[in-house]
Amino acid sequence: MTVAQIPPPPLPVRDKSATRALSPMLTRLAEERATGVLVREHGTLYLAEGRVVHAESPFAPGLDVLLTAHGTLATTAWRRAAERTSGPLHTAELLLESGLLPAGALELCHLDALYDAGYFALAPSSTPGRFRYDRAPRIGPLPSVPVVALERETLRRRLLLHRLWPDPAADSAPLIRADPASPPASSPASAPASAPVTPRQRAVLDRVDGVRTATGIARNLGRQAFHTLVDVRRLTAAGHVAPRAPAAADPAPPPPPPPVTDPDIALLKRLRDALEAL
C-alpha cells in the first residue's frame, strides 16, 4: 500500500508592505528619540524625544481654523493671543492659561490637527526630507503621538480613500458639479450612483464652484481636510462632482512672415517708410 506524501502547508509570510515605514528618516528619528523639526515636501512634523508633538501642512487647516470655525473660540481672541506669542502651540497655551479655551476642546482640536496635517506630511514625496535638531516646542498639557501610531493611522486613511474611490484626482484638482444621472467612468461596482447626499456632503457640494479644491473647501468649512476628502470621494463615486479638466494650452502664435527677398518689394517698403516719415 502506497501512502501519499502530502506536503506540509507553506509557512505564513509576513506582508512587508504592510509594515513598511512611510518615512525611514522619521522611523530612525523615533528610534533615536530625537528632538527637532522634520520638513517634508507636503508638511512639517515637530518631534520631542522621538514623538510627534505637532504637525503642519499647507493642505490642512491649522489649529486656529479648527478652534475658531465653529464657535469654540472667538477669532479675535486667537488673533490677540497670536500677536503676543510665536507659533500656534504657544498661542493655544496662552489662551488655555487665560481661561478663554477649555482644555478638552484644545486637546481634541490639537489631535485632529496633528493627524490631519500628518497625513499630508507623510504623503509620497519627490524630494528628501530635512531634519533640524532643535529644542522641543512647548506643548504644556497637550498629548504627543508615537511615530508608529501616526504612520498606522496614515496608512488606514489611505486605504479608506482607495476603497471609496480609487482615483485620487479629485483630492487636489479644482472640483466641478457633475451630472448625478451619469456616474463617472470606471465606477467601482460598489459605488451606488444614486446614493443620497447627506447634510455634511451637501455643505461640501454647495462650495463646489470649479475653483476650490477639496482642501480649500475644508478650510472654508473649518473642517479637517481628510474628512473632506472622504466626502469628496464619496460624491465623486456617486457622480455628483468631478475634478475639473486642466485648461487647454493656448494655441501657438502664427509663424512670422518670411523675410522679404524681392528687391522691388524691398524698394517699395523703403519708399513707404520714407513717405511716412515726412
Q: Which pTM does this prediction carry?
A: 0.77
CA 49 to each of CA 131, 146, 230, 240: distance values in angstroms, whole numbers, following the listed order: 14, 10, 33, 46
Count the neighbouring beta carbons within 10 Å of the beta carbon of residue 255: 6
Q: Which three three-digit cell numbers place residue 79? A: 488673533
pLDDT in single tens digits along all 278 residues of the chain: 444 444 444 443 334 444 457 899 999 999 999 999 999 999 999 999 999 999 999 999 999 999 998 888 999 999 999 999 888 888 988 998 889 989 889 999 999 999 999 999 999 988 999 999 987 666 667 889 999 999 999 999 999 999 999 999 999 999 999 865 555 555 554 445 557 899 999 999 999 999 999 999 999 999 999 999 999 999 999 999 999 988 765 555 555 554 544 545 555 566 566 555 65
Q: Answer yes or no: are the C-beta atoms of 120 and 60 closer than 8 Å.
A: yes
Whole-angstrom distance, CA of residue 47 vs CA of residue 30: 8
Count the neighbouring beta carbons within 10 Å of the beta carbon of residue 237: 24
DSSP 28: H
Q: Answer yes or no: are the C-beta atoms of 250 and 188 closer than 8 Å.
A: no
